[in-house]
Amino acid sequence: MNLIVVSNRVDSGDANQPKIGGLAAALLPVVEQSGAIWVGSSDQLGDGCRKAPLVETLGAGKLVTLNLPAAHYRRYYEGFANSALWPALHSRTDLIDASALDYLSYREINTVMAKRLLRFDEPTAFWVHDYHFLPLGTELRKVGIEQPIGFFLHTPWPLPAMMRSVPHHRELIEAMLAYDLIGFQTEEDRRNFIAYVSTDLRHLRLTIEDCVVTSGHGQTRSQVFPIGIDPVKFAELSADAASEPWISWIRRGLNSEKIAISVDRIDYTKGIDKRLHALNRLWTERPHLAHSISLLQIATPSRSGIEVYSNLQKDVARLVCDINNRHRRGDRTPISHFEEGFSQADLAILYRAAKVAVVTPLRDGMNLVAKEYVAAQDPNDPGVLILSKFAGAAKELEEALLVDPNNIDDIADKISAAISMSPAERISRWQDMMRTLLAYPIQQWTADFVAELEKIRTEKLAGQFSPPNVGEPSGSKGKVEGKLAGGASHLDLPRRLSRPAFDVRARRLDDDFTHIVGSGWNHGPQLAPDVLLGVLNRVDAFPRPFQPTTHFYIHGHPYMAQLAAGLREVTPNNPLGVNVILIPRLKGG
């Protein structure tokens, strides 16, 4: 097994099932295409005793669900994760409501998950997702995991003052430093995290340089990876929208010239109430637009066990009913409100049918609905995206109509502008946004994060193969000095060293080099054989500092050649005596 992906819940691999939340939409293609194993909790809570996990194959990868102890799960999930961390991360500290027992359960579930992950044989790296598992890296280290552990936060990371409202915040964020890599959606999120670490954890005598934090855990890199979608897939899914009979049924029910669409979970961060008030104001103050636009609002219930969420669900339903009663004329329904979820295929068709998307969260890590809407549009007649300037996606989709989601008048004005926008402007804006989506799809997001994990892994393995006296020859006979003429390091390699002494036929780098190393090869990280160094030299593919040689194979397995510190014996194939190790590449990217 190679890459292990961890999150609170594992989504269904059934393409026809509704997808609730951006994390599920993002991770399914990662697993399906890369061969990763996605692990999370099941809907079945147990007594804490170990039981065999449920395993489902999805493409090249697997979905694995584990039973977590019922005694702690509710306090972990509804309590600390979603009543302390979630409101703080979205700058709603007024809604923090968590007890000391909630925090203990949160830590206990992280401990249990770490122990359950030990059941997987020889993982090469772990990729942990979201705020449910801030301390999981520390718990994995406690049970002996030495492999690289990455963490990606799908939510925003707020200003330090907001995080200080979280109970045990210093303990939690210090625990995050056990991660080798922490990924954020935007540069602002990363900047806020570094600001917190610099001020609130200064007692740990940390070193922070170029967004790399060095602590007692080692080095923690913080980087920005703005999550994407598969725009080509959404374009294909939406192509048959006009022929779908139920789309015609929705159009007749709304009975307006244009449909606007909003897709959310029921959550106080989504700005649903302000969006509905904006439409009410639009239809009240500009009655001539009453038949120009109607709203299809999909608002899927979530976290109904938390009072603020169950109350919000009722409030939204009442508000929709009130607005419809005010503005209904004949057979026209101003707002169609759906609480059931839709599959991605159905959403793609609805996106294509809608000529306006109103995506107005008060705060959001990214918001993939905005990107999905753009990807699903008809290139010859695209709709208009209205997007909150406080969503991470606004940093990329600058050609959307950006709004302040707290300003009802601003939202109403932007809806009016979207209705009347000329075809030429709509096409121009859409083309720019679509180019952005195509330039950084979900596949590239995955590849970039896994590449950083792989870089960390090779550096750790390289350290294991370094001679005790780094930079000095291990003996005197046949060795060269650690510094070359002119003071250059032995790692400052020329483009070509010398022709190898052995007459071995060189091949292209992407060939399999089994014929070089022979049939007795044992897979795993190891020193590069001298004869292979000669071949890499001959095809001008010798590894260089910070540029490992990749894309070659041994017995069908992908490998990379990485420079390590120290020197080896000088040979005709290795005239500088550099220390090169071979490391199997991750299959998770």
Q: What is the pLDDT of residues 122-169, one digit of tens each?
A: 788 999 999 999 999 999 999 999 999 999 999 999 999 999 999 999
409 and 471 belong to one structural domain: no
Which two tokens mark 504? 């071995």
413 and 461 belong to one structural domain: no
**Does pLDDT of 476 surpass 60?**
no
212 and 237 belong to one structural domain: no
541 and 559 belong to one structural domain: yes
Q: What is the pLDDT of residues 308-359, one digit of tens each?
A: 999 999 999 999 999 999 998 877 789 999 998 888 888 999 999 899 999 9
407 and 363 belong to one structural domain: yes
Higher pLDDT, 541 or 482: 541
Which pLDDT score is estimated for 496? 39
Which pLDDT score is estimated for 2? 82
Mean per-residue pLDDT, 14-43: 75
CB neighbour list of residue 426: distance below 8 Å, 6 or more residues apart: 381, 382, 383, 384
Mean per-residue pLDDT, 200-224: 94
Higher pLDDT, 256 or 516: 516
DSSP annotation string for 415-446:
HHHHHH--HHHHHHHHHHHHHHHHHS-HHHHH
Mean per-residue pLDDT, 188-192: 97
**Does pLDDT of 473 surpass 70?**
no
**Does pLDDT of 482 surpass 80?**
no
Domain boundary among 174, 209, 224: 224
101 and 210 belong to one structural domain: yes
d(CA 334, CA 314): 19
Min mean pLDDT across 164-178, 235-249, 458-472 is at 458-472
Which pLDDT score is estimated for 132? 97
Confidence band for 498, pLDDT divided at 50, 70 and 90: very low
- CA 325-330-334 angle, 5° bins: 50
For the annotated catalytic residues, the residue numbers are 154, 364
**Does pLDDT of 259 surpass 70?**
yes
Residue 437 falls inside a structural domain? no
What count of residues does the chain have? 589
Domain boundary among 175, 207, 224: 224
167 and 41 belong to one structural domain: yes
**Does pLDDT of 422 surpass 90?**
yes
SS (H, E, C) 240-268: CHHHCHHHHHHHHHHCCCEEEEEEEECCC
CB contact at 8 A, 114 and 142: yes
25 and 153 belong to one structural domain: yes
- pTM, whole model, 2 decimals? 0.81
Q: Tell me which residue range forms the domain holding 16.
A: 3-224
Which pLDDT score is estimated for 488? 38
CB neighbour list of residue 428: distance below 8 Å, 6 or more residues apart: 399
Min mean pLDDT across 201-205, 220-224, 290-294, 552-556 is at 552-556
For residue 209, how many other CB atoms are within 10 A of its CB? Answer: 8
Question: Percent of the chain, pLDDT > 90?
Answer: 58
Strand, coil or helix: 164 = coil
Which pLDDT score is estimated for 386? 98
Which pLDDT score is estimated for 489? 41
338 and 472 belong to one structural domain: no
Confidence band for 34, pLDDT divided at 50, 70 and 90: confident
243 and 143 belong to one structural domain: no
Residue 443 falls inside a structural domain? no
Q: What is the pLDDT of residues 502-540, one digit of tens each?
A: 444 444 566 778 877 777 787 778 888 888 888 787 777
Confidence band for 481, pLDDT divided at 50, 70 and 90: very low
d(CA 120, CA 117): 6
Domain boundary among 224, 249, 269: 224
Residue 451 falls inside a structural domain? no
Residue 576's identity, in one-letter code, is L
214 and 235 belong to one structural domain: no
179 and 61 belong to one structural domain: yes
Q: Residue 318 sits in a domain of what CATH number?
A: 3.40.50.2000
Number of domains in the chain: 3
Residue closest to 355 by CA, chosen among 245, 251, 485: 251
Residue 441 falls inside a structural domain? no
